[in-house]
Every structure is written in C-alpha cells, then in structure tokens.
Structure 1
Amino acid sequence: MSEIAKKYPPGFRPRRGLNWFLIGLLYASFYTCRYNFRWATPGMVAEFGFSKFQITSMLSAWALAYGTGQLINGLLTDRIGGKKAMLIGAVGTIAINLVYGFASLISTFATFSLIWLINGYVQSFGAPGMIKMNAAWFHRTERGTFAGIFGFMIQLGQFAINNLAPVILAGFTVGMLVVAQGDWRWLFRIPPLITAAAAILLAIFVKQTPEEAGHPNVIEHAGETAGAAVTTSIRESFVTIFTHPLVWFYAIAYACTGAVRNSSDQLAILYFVEQLKLNMEAKPPAVFWTMNLMPLVAVIGSFSAGIISDKVFKGHRSPVAMGLYFLETIVILVAAVVIMSGMVGPTPAGLFLGCLFLVLISLTANSTHAIVGTAAPMDIGGRKMAGFASGVIDSFQYYGAAIALPATGWLIDKYGWGVWYPTMASFGAIGGCSMLLVMRKQKRMTAAGDSRALSR
C-alpha cells in the first residue's frame, strides 16, 4: 500500500468513492443527452433530406458552443463551485433535449442547429464542475489512475444510449405510451429522465471537498495548504491559467483529440447506414457489438494510460500522451489504406474491418482523452483553479471538433467516405507533436527552477 493510501483516515475512501460515483453518474447521463444525436441522424436525413455537411454543421454548432462554454463556465465554476455548476448544466440539458424532441412543428436546419447549439453551452457546465470537485478529493499522483477509472463512469453514458437508442428506434408500448418504430424524436425525450434522476442524487449526497464531508486536512496540493479554499476570484483564475506555460500545448493537443474522437463517434451511425448498408431499425448485431466495444476499449485505454502516467512516469502525462497520439495516427493511416483498397463494405469481411477500425480509433483517442483532458487540468489548476484549467483545455477539444466536423462532412459529400480516415490522421500527428513540445518545455522549466514544471 502506498504512503498516500496509508495516511487516509477511516471512512475517507468510502466517502470519496460515493462522491466519485455520483459525480460520474451525472456526467455519464450528460452523454446520453449528447450521443443520442448520432442515433437520430439517419432519421433526420430520411425525413428532412439533410446532407452530411448539414449534419456535421449541427454538430459543429454544438461543439463551438460547448468549447466557448468551457472557457466561460470554467471561470464561473471556480467562483461558484463545481456542484452548482453541474446542477445548472443538468437542468439546462434536460430542458433543451425535451425541446429538441418536441420541436416537430418548426423542424428546419436552422431550428435544430440553434437548439443543439444551446445544448452544447449548457452541457459545458459539466466537465469543469466534475474536474474541480475531483481535484479537491485526489492527490496529484492518484489523478491519472482515477481519471482512467472515471473514464469508465463517463463511458457508461455511451453504453447506456448505445443500448437504449436501438430499443427506442425499434418501437415499444408501455401502458398508454406508444413509441412508433423509427420515431427518432423519442431519443431526445427519454434520456433526460436519466439525467434528472442523477441530478437529484448529486444534489443530496455529493460534497465539494473532503472538508465539507468531515475530513479536514487530508489532501494536500502543490502550492496550497490542505483544507485551503476551493474558490477563487475570476481575475486570479484567469491570469494564472492563461499565462501558464504548458496549458496551450495541452489545448492544441486536445483539439486534435476532439477532431478525431467526435468525428469517429458522431459519424459512426451514418457510416454504418451509408457505407456498410445496415438498417438501424433491425438492430444489426455488427452495430450492437461495435457501439458497445467502442466505450469498453475507451475505458481500458483511459484506465491504462492513467496508471502508466501515474506509476511508470510518476505523474508525467506528456510522454504517454505523445505515444498514444502517434499510435493513433498509425492506426488511422492503416485503416485509410484498407478502406481505399475497397476491402470495407457490405460483406462479412468488409463489415468486420469497418467495425474493427472504429474500435481501435476509440481505444487510442479516448486514452489521450483521460490524461490530457482530465488529469492534466487537475495538475495545472489544483483544487482552486482546476475548473478554468479544464475549461481552457477542454474548450479546444470542441473547437477542434467544430472545425473538423463540417470540413469532414463537406469532404465526404464531395468525395465519399474514403476521405474520412485520412482527415482524422492529420490531427493525430499534430497532437503527438504538441506533446513532444510539452516535454521539451518542461525540461527547460525544470532547469530554470520553475515550479510550474510539476504540472505535467
């Protein structure tokens, strides 16, 4: 047992586990109200004739609002606290999804884009709130591991919608409630109920800090005393994080994670329908296994990357992230060559290869997601400023997606699905180079005696 684990008082670890579980449950429920969109895309295309460019533009609007919201709400979270931030996000997410699900009388591209843009903004309260609260409960050398474990909770949201959505699209009857087959609007009416239940549990049981839960002076943070306040002024948070010498390298790398992760996640269902010729209403096994394996391998990748960065690299995130970005690039390039050869298509072998590559991309992209997007902001911001550190870094994940998605959609409309993977590969390479620059910068900072080099 580590020295850190030995010093924890009786009752601390179970209380932290309860906190961690309920925060993760609410954040996972946000995913059910986010990834429901991808299951609705074939229905919206069939009903309204939307092009891939229009679908990806709606997703881009969501990503742009989410990224900007990360910056604004990250600052706000450091002021009001993580618990209030997550609850504000939950209420907004519930309301906006219900609006989307009942917006049948004014169903236009502009209307759907605006509603989904607002959903992006309100959901952006979630990540800063989650990261800020967890920063107060975990020591720096635990954060990578627990970021990986937390990735499991997050992916439960994907797992839930991946299994709930086919049931909704297949249609069902419960008492007087009748959900017609293929009625995609119910994808936005049922998941908010999950978010509502999770929000109630968080409001009742979650504490923002160990001190609030009766465990003072347990977690110490670099540059802070144990038990220090977890809120700070907007000015202090803004200046400290914006001038941090490492934060922008992580932000650029995370933009590349967002470009790959959102592209592979959000376009997967359209890819199944158009390239692999699968019928979603028939609940094809290939889709079931692929969409559930993607979050499963994401958990394995996140957990493994977190442990390796904590235990092998002693809390250093950049070497692990750099290796993952370059591995991701290699995987995508191999996939691109195979797809261009014509081997991927509506045949047993073609289906297997098409699904396999999506699973492998999910593994590599989500491994960087955990350590760059969750552990690094906690290292940089500490318990006082983790909200804004998360906001800055995470915002770039969605700015990357906002740029990449419509560009990818336009390219697919014009040249076909063969351009999808090469587009993603370029972002993986840029992410790896950004992490290489972080490592070089840290060496210079360490040589100069800059304590901020510990934020790795």
Structure 2
Amino acid sequence: MEKSFRSQQWRMLLVTMLCYLFFYTGRHNFGWAAKGMATALNIPYTSIGWVSFAMLLGYAFGQLINGNLADRFSARVMVTTGAYLSVLTNVAISYSNSFSVILALWALNGYFQSMAWAPGSKLISNWWNGPELGKAFGFYTMAAGLSSAVTYLLSIVLLQQGMEWRMLFRIPVLLLLVAATIFVIVARDKPNASLQNDPHSPIPNREDTWLSRYKVVVSHPHFLFTSLAFGFESMARYGLIFWVPVHYLGQNWKDNPGNLWVTFLLPVGMAAGALSFGMLSDTLFQRNRIHSIRFGMLMSALMALLVFVVAVTNLVLGGILMLLIGFFVYGPQSCFWPLSPEMLGTSYTGTGIGFMNMFGYVFAALGEPLFGYVIDKTGHSSTIFIFISGICLLSVLMITLAKKSWKVTS
C-alpha cells in the first residue's frame, strides 16, 4: 500500500507539471508578439504595456478568487477549465485588429490563466507532506520555468520561419490543449482513503466559509509581508519575461539571429533556479525558505545591474547574464509557495497561495506600463534593468520584515 501511494504521489506531481509545462504558451507569448503587434496596429509601447497590465490584473483578481475556491472545489476541474478557455481567448486575439478588443480579451485571458496555479498547488499539497513539500514545489515551479522556455523556443522558431505575430497566439497553445486533456484524464484531487498513509495530511474543517478563509490569511502580518516580498519579486520577474525579448528584438535580429537565442537562456535559468532553490531550501538552508529568498533576490539585483552595463551586442556575456538572472530571480519562487502551508496551515494552502499570487500579479501589472513608458521616454530598453535591480532590493526588505514578524508571532 505504501508503494502504491508513493507511485500515485509521483504520478499526480508529474501530470500536474506536464499540464503547467504548456500553460505559459497562452500567456508569455505576448512579449514576443508585442513588436509585431505594435507595428501592425500602429500603437506605442506604452499602450502595449497597458495590454500586458490588463492581463496581469485579470490574473491577480483571478488568483484572489480561484485560490479560495481551490480549497473547496475540484482543482482538477478548475485547471482544465482555465486551460481550455485560455486557448479559445488566444485564438480569438489572433483574429482581432482592434486595440480595445485585444485589451479586453487579454484581460479575460489573465483570469482564465489564474485558474491553474493555486488549484494545482492545492492538489500537490494534498498528495505531498511537509518534509518533502519544498521538493515537490521545486519540481512544480521548475515546470513553470520550463513553460517559459518552451514558449520562448516556440516563439523563436516561429519568428525565424517568418510567421507573423498572430501565429504566436494560435500555434503554441495547441500544446496546452493536449496537455490539459491528459491532465483531466489522469489527475485526482486527493488520495483515496485506502491509499492515504500520510500523517501530515490536514483534517478538513467543515466550518470554514469563503470569507473566514480570507480572515485567517490577513490575520498573519508575517504572511502579508511575505506577500509584499513576492509582489516585488514578480514585478522583477515579469519585467524580465516581457521586456527582454523587446530589448533584443530592438536590434536588427534578422542580421544577427543570435540575439534571439540569448533571450532563450533567461527561462532556462529560471527553470534551473526553481528546481535548485526548492531542493536547497530543504537541505542546505534546512527548510529556512526566507534565507533562500533573500539570497536569491540580492543576487538578482546584482545581475540586473550587470545586464544594464553590458552592451546588447555582447552575446556571450549577455547570454551568461540572462542565464544567471533567470536562475536567481525565479528560483526563490519555489521557496515562497511552501510558506503558505507553513505559515497558515495546510487547510488554507489554496487561499494563501492565491492571495500571495494576487499580490504578485498586481505588482507585475503596475510595472508593465511603467517599463513601457521608460522605454518610450528614454529610447533605451536597457534602462529598465536599473529599475529591476531596485525592485529586487525592495523584495529583500519585505522578506526581512516578514522574518522579524514571524519570530515575534512565534
């Protein structure tokens, strides 16, 4: 029975990872389409930033709602529904010629995309216990990082084939359609009673209500500081994900296609960082997630400053820095997620993760038009890396305050 449960644990983790591996094909494709869209629709980068803002805000709102719902309803159904609706929205955008229509559809897509992460996290926390939670979330977060890599790779290939920006909303999401179908067939929300042999599993509290779960979350100051730290980390991460392609596509990349492959190293570094930080927080840092986060964000601030001073034509050094900044800016995410059950208790995992992710995407949304405005005004995309460095330091400050508040509460 123990072997059977162990096999089921890994099956649930792997199928959830498979599904999320292709989720960003319906979200991170936008940065690659931005240049072509701006040219075709004759709109400035500030307006493109507002489109990205709308998606991130829709995602943030969805996280607040769907994380809570994941503690009550089927994560399996929620993830699959979000995937199918995101595919439909992406295809609809590819046929649109109106800025306002694209803005509205991309905002809706943000909400649909939000139906995956917190419910998927809830499913994983149902199957994996405390001592291995960091490892499980490390693998799950790695899948998200690899999802960026998959999206970047597909986008690079499509651009090099001479396809227009609209195809970036049609072709990559077909993989999400297939993965979501596999997920809904294989995944199960929680172990059967006959398989369950995990002393760390939570006992359901049937007196919980939709509102009471939020009250529990906001009653913990250390978790609020953690959510603020995650907000700044996400602002820095999305500043990189969205604007790094613009930074390198701003050059005549057709004469120097190596520019595209430099950007690909960013999500590769993110995927490596997610897996590494998840395991290191359980081993080297002895489950001290906050020390892991603080280290990662300090290194991210340093890497961002180095990217600013290195010329975009220096592809070797630029590639190394893209790998490193991706590693350090995204790696800490695998340490943020276990803090939800550790700070709040496993019964509030979905609500806590959704609440934290809401902060992340509100902050990321606020950053997008700001970055676009800076590029429009300065005429240099490299300027945004100075802002990203400062944002990483703000994350360090917030997670330090979270640590102090957690000690006081304890």
TM over 0.5: yes
2:369 aligned partner, one-letter code = P
Match of 2:389 in 1: 425
- d(CA) in 1 for partners of 2:306, 2:178: 43
Q: In the alignment, which residue of structure 1 is the partner of 2:196? A: 216
* Shift in CA distance, 313/149, structure 1 to aligned 2, threshold 3 Å: same
Q: 1:194 to 1:215 in 2, by over 3 A?
A: same
1:380 aligns with 2:380: no
Task: Give yes or no for contact 1:136–1:209 (8 Å, CA) kept in 2.
Answer: yes
Q: Select 1:123's aligned residue among 99, 113, 116.
A: 113
What is the Cα deviation at residue 210 of structure 1?
1.9
Partner of 2:227: 251
Corresponding residue number in structure 1 for 2:128: 138
Larger CA Rg, structure 1 vs 2: 1
Q: Is the 8 A contact 2:135 2:279 kept in 1?
A: yes
**Counterpart-to-counterpart distance in 1, 2:169 and 2:21:** 16
1:147 offset after TM fit, Å?
Answer: 1.6
Residue type of the alignment partner of 1:278: W
Look up the equivalent residue of 1:408 and give its one-letter code: F
Task: Select the residue among 27, 44, 55 that pairs with 1:51.
Answer: 44
- Counterpart amino acid of 2:258? P
Q: Residues 296-341 of structure 1, C-alpha deviation per residue, up to 9 Å, x if partnerless?
A: 22222222221222123332211111121122112222333x24xx
SS in 1 for 2:27: coil
For 2:189, what is the secondary structure of its paired residue?
Answer: coil
2:315 corresponds in structure 1 to: 351
User: How is 1:280-429 mapped onto 2 (pairs within 5 angstroms)?
Assistant: 284-288=257-261, 290-336=262-308, 338-339=309-310, 344-346=311-313, 350-372=314-336, 374-415=337-378, 416-429=380-393
Tell me the SS of whatever aligns to 1:216.
coil
- Which residue of 186, 189, 198 corresponds with 2:170? 189
- Is the contact made by 2:31 and 2:245 (CA closer than 8 Å) also made in structure 1? yes
Output the CA distance in 2 between the equivalents of 1:443 and 1:379.
13
Alpha carbons 1:254, 1:397 under 8 Å: kept: yes
Query: Which consecutive residues of structure 1, in runs of 5 or more, have no partner in the other structure?
Result: 1-7, 172-180, 447-456
TM-superposed deviation, 1:124: 0.6
Looking at structure 2, the residues matched to 91 and 382 of structure 1 have their Cα atoms a distance apart, in angstroms, of 31
Note the C-alpha offset of 1:244.
2.1
Deviations 1:163-193 (A, max 9, x none): 222333344xxxxxxxxx3322121112232
CA offset digits 1:367-399 (Å, max 9, x no partner): 112211x22223234443211101110111111
Q: CA RMSD in A?
A: 2.1
Segments of 5+ residues of structure 2 without an aligned counterpart are: none
Which residue in 1 is equivalent to 2:253?
278
CA contact (8 A) 2:232 2:392 kept: yes
Cα–Cα, structure 1 residues 379 and 84, in superposed 2: closer, same or farther, change >3 Å?
Answer: farther
Q: Quickly say closer, same or farther: Cα 1:418–1:165, change in 2 above 3 A.
A: closer
Aligned length, in residue pairs = 409
Partner of 1:267, secondary structure, is: helix
Aligned equivalents of 1:219, 1:131: Cα separation in 2: 19
**1:50, CA displacement in angstroms?**
2.4
Normalised to the residue count of structure 2, the TM-score between the two structures is 0.93
Q: Aligned-pair distance for 1:424?
A: 0.6
Question: What amino acid is the match of 1:287?
Answer: L
Distance in 1 (CA, whole Å) between partners of 2:321 and 2:140 is 25
Residue 74 of structure 2 corresponds to: 81
In structure 2, what is the equivalent of residue 9 of structure 1? 2
SS of 1:312's equivalent in the other structure is coil
**Aligned CA distance change for structure 1 residues 94 and 418 (closer, same or farther; 3 Å):** closer
User: Residue 296 of structure 1 aligns to which amino acid in structure 2?
Assistant: V
Counterpart residue type for residue 17 of structure 2: G
Percent identity, aligned pairs only, is 23
3-state SS in 2 of match to 1:246: helix
SS at the partner of 1:79?
coil
Aligned residue type for 2:90: N
